[in-house]
């Protein structure tokens, strides 16, 4: 089945396009980074047809390894033979709360988000006595929950920054922050002539150099 899908991927180039590029990301990073990247490619690389895919980390890395996805944006990807993994950005996981009086990640309204084994290890080292009764494995869902009912949890700084600036969330002072780098994972079967300009665009988006040409209401 995978061989047949790869064959379709290679030959199904729409009229007017010179190539097809399949890009993907984990669910938690699809907006805004994947969205901005796709917008940039549609504007700057109009002769490349795009397939855009969002999935859970384990399935996504399998699809890149098998050549079904050319490039994926991921946090903490598994290192496998034949994959090219490049660091994109250094994210931080920070503890935020809707309650200014909150000081520790041990209150009853604390939501523990599964950010992977490294986070779980370091979280346990820093908060050995915390035994939360609410676990979630999807950051955006947990953030929506906290914003709707109140509480605290660790989230990506880029995701919570707008809410901090608006006063809906507050950084909990004197608590540790954890590194959470994002990577671009590239299939060994990907066409470098197609992938290279797309990756250049991704770095432009990350650096804020890309002009997306859309009204402010779309950003």
Q: Are residues 47 and 69 in the same domain?
A: yes
DSSP 68-84: S-SEEEEESPPP-TTEE
Q: Are residues 141 and 171 in the same domain?
A: yes
98-114: average pLDDT: 74
**Rama region for 108: left / alpha / beta (φ>0; ψ in -120 to 50; rest):** alpha
Q: Are residues 100 and 170 in the same domain?
A: yes
Q: Are residues 118 and 166 in the same domain?
A: yes
User: For 98-191, where are the E strands, in sequence order?
Assistant: 110-113, 135-136, 152-156, 170-171, 178-187
Q: Are residues 77 and 15 in the same domain?
A: yes
Q: What is the overall mean pLDDT for the chain?
A: 84
pLDDT value at residue 217: 32
More confident residue, 214 or 204: 204
What digits encode the pLDDT tens for the residues 9-51?
Answer: 555 676 678 888 999 998 878 777 899 999 999 999 999 999 9
What digits encode the pLDDT tens for the residues 167-184?
Answer: 999 998 889 999 999 999
More confident residue, 144 or 99: 144
Token pair recorded at residue 2: 């995978």
Are the CB atoms for 90 and 181 separated by under 8 Å? yes
What digits encode the pLDDT tens for the residues 118-131?
Answer: 888 999 899 888 87
Residue 78: asked if its preceding bond is cis (omega within 30°), the reply is: no
Q: Are residues 13 and 50 in the same domain?
A: yes
Q: Are residues 13 and 67 in the same domain?
A: yes
Reference 183, options 90, 22, 73, 83; nearest CA is 73
What digits encode the pLDDT tens for the residues 77-93?
Answer: 888 888 999 999 888 99
Domain holding 70, by residue range, is 2-82+188-218
Reference 42, options 24, 13, 21, 71; nearest CA is 21
Q: Are residues 195 and 168 in the same domain?
A: no
Are the CB atoms for 69 and 169 separated by under 8 Å? no
64-83: average pLDDT: 88
Q: Residue 162 — pLDDT band, cuts 50, 70, 90?
A: very high
Q: Are residues 194 and 160 in the same domain?
A: no
pLDDT value at residue 215: 36
pLDDT value at residue 152: 92
Q: Are residues 96 and 73 in the same domain?
A: no
47-70: average pLDDT: 90
- Residue holding tokens 């397939």? 51
Provide the pairing of β-strand 178-187 with 71-75. Answer: antiparallel
Reference 71, options 204, 198, 182; nearest CA is 198
Provide the pairing of β-strand 19-26 with 48-55. Answer: parallel
Q: Are residues 97 and 175 in the same domain?
A: yes
Domain count for the chain = 2
Q: Are residues 150 and 193 in the same domain?
A: no
- CATH number of the domain that residue 152 is part of: 3.40.190.10
CA distance 183 to 181: 7
pLDDT value at residue 109: 85
Q: Quick one: CA dihedral 194, 195, 196, 198, positive or negative?
A: positive
């Amino acid at each position: 089945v995978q061989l047949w899908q790869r064959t379709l991927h290679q030959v199904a180039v729409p009229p007017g396009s010179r190539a097809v590029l399949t890009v993907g990301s984990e669910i938690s990073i699809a907006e805004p980074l994947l969205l901005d990247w796709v917008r940039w490619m549609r504007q700057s690389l109009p002769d490349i047809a795009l397939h855009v895919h969002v999935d859970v980390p384990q399935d996504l890395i399998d699809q890149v390894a098998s050549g079904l996805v050319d490039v994926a944006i991921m946090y903490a990807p598994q290192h496998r033979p034949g994959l090219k993994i490049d660091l994109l950005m250094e994210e931080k996981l920070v503890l935020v709360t809707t309650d200014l009086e909150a000081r520790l990640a041990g209150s009853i309204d604390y939501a523990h988000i599964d950010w992977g084994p490294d986070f779980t290890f370091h979280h346990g080292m820093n908060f050995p006595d915390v035994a939360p009764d609410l676990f979630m494995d999807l950051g955006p869902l947990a953030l929506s929950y906290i914003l709707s009912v109140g509480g605290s949890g660790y989230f990506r700084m880029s995701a919570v920054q707008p809410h901090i600036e608006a006063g809906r969330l507050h950084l909990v002072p004197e608590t540790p922050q954890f590194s959470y780098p994002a990577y671009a994972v590239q299939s060994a079967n990907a066409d470098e002539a197609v992938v290279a300009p797309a990756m250049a665009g991704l770095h432009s988006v990350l650096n804020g150099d890309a002009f997306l040409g859309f009204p402010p209401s779309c950003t």
